[in-house]
A and B are shown apart, each in its own frame.
Chain A
Amino acid sequence: ETGVTQTPRHLVMGMTNKKSLKCEQHLGHNAMYWYKQSAKKPLELMFVYSLEERVENNSVPSRFSPECPNSSHLFLHLHTLQPEDSALYLCASSQEGGINYGYTFGSGTRLTVV
């Protein structure tokens, strides 16, 4: 596999459920990101991990909990979500510390909270 892979592609969950989104990158990058993309809104940066350390948390509610066990894997643990959390959740990776070459995004997980 190449690039950035996200699973599942689609997820429907109730407000009391607990679920996790998974992201895996096969590019040897050292930074990973979670973005939220809602209809008619700009991309919202949620979390940044650099060298497996969380370096940024953009005031995201605690019902979203990220985990980066190694430089290739990133998780987003979800619990007691609200309907307004329904969105496309995108994972991205990049190589930090050198010349910028931009981000590589996964195809996203379409999350619906019912």
Chain B
Amino acid sequence: QQQVKQSPQSLIVQKGGISIINCAYENTAFDYFPWYQQFPGKGPALLIAIRPDVSEKKEGRFTISFNKSAKQFSLHIMDSQPGDSATYFCAASMPREKLTFGTGTRLTIIP
């Protein structure tokens, strides 16, 4: 019940396209859903996060869509650029509990 399932494992998108990464969870007590971005040789960095009282959050080209009834949330990267090529992790946590991470998606943006 603590798992967060992330897909796909890897993704190749053309420059200018939309990248979509999906995550699903079982624990309805989760109340915080962040996405992390990790470049080679660096630690993961918080990209954007959402709480279940909203269905969508947008920051620049990055959008989280949240479907509470389906227990799914996804990251959309609009107008994908080569500089977005990285590994993306979704995560979830309950109040005052540690984060549970997804398995990661390696995103490659091709010209």
Contact = CB atoms under 8 A, between A and B. Distances in A.
Interface of A: 4, 6, 33, 42-43, 45, 48, 56, 90-92, 96-97, 99-100, 102-108, 110
A96 B96 CA distance: 6
B41 A103 contact: no
B46 A107 contact: no
Interface residues of B, number: 22
A60 to B, nearest CB: 15
A45 B44 contact: no
Contact of A107 (B41, B91, B96, B104): B41
Contact of A42 (B31, B46, B96, B104): B104
Interface of B: 31-32, 34, 36, 41-46, 49, 89, 91, 93, 95-96, 98-99, 101-104
Given A102-B49, A103-B46, A42 B99 contact: no
Is chain B's binding surface mostly helix, strand, loop or mixed?
Answer: loop
Contacts of A90: 43-44
Contact of A103 (B31, B99, B104): B99
Given A99-B32, A107-B42, 15 more contacts: A4-B43, A43-B44, A48-B98, A56-B98, A90-B44, A91-B43, A100-B95, A100-B96, A102-B36, A102-B49, A103-B44, A104-B46, A105-B43, A106-B43, A108-B43
B34 A102 contact: yes
9 contacts: A4-B43, A42-B104, A48-B98, A97-B96, A100-B93, A100-B96, A105-B36, A105-B43, A107-B42
